[in-house]
């Protein structure tokens, strides 16, 4: 997998390069600021961008703005954001485009290399990888919106786990229900959100995007 990486801390950037390389991935560009990130994404056309939200010179949202600009030109670009903070606005901006392949992880909560690599693969394949705390904050915000009132409490729990990238088996285990029950809940979610089966769309991703950003 070809990866463009943006991280301003040298030790973390170098560590990520080594970790990714050890598992056969190719970091084709590793930068420390938003301007270089956008240039690298346009030049390299990677399989995925992994970027810190806050980069020099202002340490506000330079990384986010760079990947959003890149996705406007290449909507299929998978993006995995890294941050030290739960910033729902930034997550919503990433989700707002409606594209596939999005992730938002909190640095301090990434404690398992295998799960981190799995998140990268999932996003690169067009799925989602959202930290549970980020999803929780987004869910709380959307609870205030009457437009999502059609989903039951259990359906919201299921959709939150879908957003985290859980499989049906993983959701069943987390909720202590059968996979058949999970499949039924997900079917109901698709129906209530108006997501019909097609040959081109990943309805699990679209369900997350529709719920968190409509």
Q: pLDDT band at residue 98, thresholds of 50, 70 and 90?
A: low
213 versus 12: which is more confidently predicted? 12
Domain range 145-214, CATH class: mainly alpha
Confidence band, pLDDT 50/70/90 cuts, at residue 209? low
Higher pLDDT, 201 or 56: 56
Which pLDDT belongs to residue 3?
98
Architecture of the 1-132 domain: 3-Layer(aba) Sandwich (3.40)
What pLDDT, in 10s, does the model give residues 18-44?
A: 999 999 999 999 999 999 999 999 999
Lowest mean pLDDT among 141-150, 159-168, 178-187: 141-150
User: What's the pLDDT tens digit per position in 181-194?
Assistant: 999 998 888 888 77
Task: Report pLDDT digits (tens) over 106-134.
Answer: 998 898 889 899 999 999 998 888 887 77
Rounded average pLDDT over 130-140: 71
Q: CA–CA separation, 48 vs 78, rounded Å?
A: 5
Which residues contact residue 149 at a Cβ distance below 8 angstroms, ignoring those fewer than 6 apart? Answer: none
pLDDT at residue 147, as a whole number: 43
Q: Residue 130's closest CA among 207, 24, 46, 19? A: 207
Give the pLDDT confidence of 68-93 residue by residue, as tens digits: 899 989 988 999 999 888 776 777 77
Q: What is the reported pLDDT for 143?
A: 47
> What's the rounded Cα separation, in Å, for the pair 72 and 113?
31
- Domain definitions of the chain by residue range: 1-132, 145-214
**pLDDT attached to residue 198:** 58
């Amino acid at each position: 997998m070809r990866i463009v990486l943006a991280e301003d801390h040298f030790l973390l950037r170098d560590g990520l390069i080594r970790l990714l390389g050890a598992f056969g991935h190719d970091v084709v560009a590793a930068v420390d600021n938003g301007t270089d990130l956008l240039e690298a994404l346009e030049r390299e056309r990677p399989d995925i961008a992994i970027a810190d939200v806050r980069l020099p010179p202002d340490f506000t949202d330079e990384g986010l703005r760079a990947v959003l600009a890149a996705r406007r030109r290449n909507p299929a670009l998978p993006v995995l954001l890294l941050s030290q903070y739960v910033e729902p606005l930034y997550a919503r901006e990433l989700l707002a485009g409606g594209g596939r392949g999005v992730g938002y992880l909190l640095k301090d909560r990434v404690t398992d290399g295998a799960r981190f690599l799995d998140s990268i693969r999932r996003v690169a394949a067009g799925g989602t990888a959202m930290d549970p705390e980020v999803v929780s904050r987004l869910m709380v915000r959307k609870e205030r919106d009457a437009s999502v009132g059609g989903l039951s409490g259990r359906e919201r729990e299921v959709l939150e786990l879908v957003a985290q990238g859980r499989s049906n088996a993983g959701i069943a285990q987390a909720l202590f229900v059968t996979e058949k029950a999970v499949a039924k809940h997900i079917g109901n979610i698709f129906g209530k959100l108006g997501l019909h089966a097609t040959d081109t769309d990943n309805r699990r991703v679209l369900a997350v995007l529709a719920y968190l950003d409509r």
